[in-house]
Structure 1
Amino acid sequence: MYAEQVHDYLKTFFKETDCEIVSDEGHMLSVQLTIDMDKRIMNRPFYWQYIEATNSPANPARLNLITDRTKIQNQFLGEIIHFGSGRLHQIFKSTKELGSFVRMYQHGNEGSKMLTPYFCVNYKVSYYCDQTKEVLYSLGINLINGEIEDNFHEFVTKLALKPTIPEKSFCLQYIIKPKRALERLDSMIQNIIQNDDHSWAEEAKKRWDKELEVLDYFYEGVEEKPESYEIEKKGLEERFNPRIKVEIINGGLFFLQ
């Protein structure tokens, strides 16, 4: 499921940034980057400085991104991308830079129609200890009746959306204000985290305790511990201490039929 989420996210991202999707095999994307996107995510500033200084022809990169390594026999065919990978982190960063909030309207179906407002927020929840896990959540709330869709991104990617209001359409005035909607979605994310399996944190604490035992063994019998002991102990805390971070990637206001 997580691999599918990454794949759908990447496909939407590259389409929205005008990058050509050369091939899509469901578990691997081949994408021709634009010049702008190459500069944003490929980390080769010296190349672009040379191109611009010499007025040479630009050659933006083509990426082969493997989103599900279990379906690839030869993993050298492309770059494996997953939650926590550096490339996906760069793409998240570019998403924030390019536009953290959108306003979109559903098109299609002839005749007059009323459009219902939805407020969407895409969250990234990161679980940290000596190992890292990241999960995406896309939540959308109906601003008329308060119903929440817990996989909103997948839902709206199937719709025909444009940044302009379709003809003969009327947007319903929302009852729930966006500020209140954000509070409700934040509360839902907190509930999801609280009800999640936290055995990973307990296991990290056990590994932490074992590492402390080893550290104390080396300093056994030393009455006044040296500064190096405190430094190493602090390092273990930073490495193993379980913590959770919640970030908003982006969001939007959607008017749907």
Structure 2
Amino acid sequence: MQEKAAGDWATNRTTVALAPNPTTNTTTGFGTWVDFLNDFRNTFITTDDSADARRQLLNIKQTGTADDYNTQFRSLVTRSNISDKNALSEMYQQGLTRGLIQRIYARDKLPDTMEEWYQAASQADNLYRRLQALNATSTTTTSSTPRSTRFKNLFSTTTSSSPTPTNSPNRPKKLTPEEREKCMKEGHCLACQEVGHNARDCTKYKARTPTTIRQVAPDPVPTTPAPVAAEPAKPTSKAEIIAHICSLLQNAGDNVAEEVLMELDKMDF
């Protein structure tokens, strides 16, 4: 108690206590503990504390968590000496945020006592904040994956349950984007990098598994043309378009899919 009103009060009281008493030829003294408390309360505590607490209850608003709001409201209720349950419930609800009061009113049964109101607000607010934290974590995880990786994963095939060793003799060298682009421009095979054929017809890697280079089936024997089926409806929604693209690329072969992915990478799809 060294500054402002508190410092002035402490200095004045110390001066009076240490002043000489002419009657007893001693100092006046600080008095009893009860005297000190009474003097302190009369100086610093509002004389009508209950009225001040009631005014604050009418204006209190939730600015943080429901638990913080409950602590402040309980303290003011104790000081206000209000015992009317309906009046306290009305003031409590007026101070809650609109979102929180709506979540409580969405329940089958509203709280009946003040303790039930405290618990309902605390539970609803904590559940909402946990959901917000989960949503934030999910958004961060999704956005951290590059778009090109997410796109390539969309067309990943699962035709083989066992992975193909990277050092298999039947597996061609994995080309860099620059090497792939050069082979495409100069007409080289994307598998053996020789001229005169493409990866689909490459004889050097004919023994590869179906997950690498597809084997081309022999041309079927000409038969009587079947009636032309009605053209299927074109996809319209985003999900239908994605499924349609997946089907086309999987049927076209791995090399065509690689070429499409490379072009999409250039455009930052």
The structure with higher relative contact order (CA 8 Å, sep 6+) is: 1
The structure richer in helix per residue is 2
Q: Which has the larger radius of gyration?
A: 2
What's the TM-score bracket when you normalise by the shorter of the two chains? under 0.3
User: What's the TM-score once normalised by structure 1's chain length?
Assistant: 0.21
The structure richer in strand per residue is 1
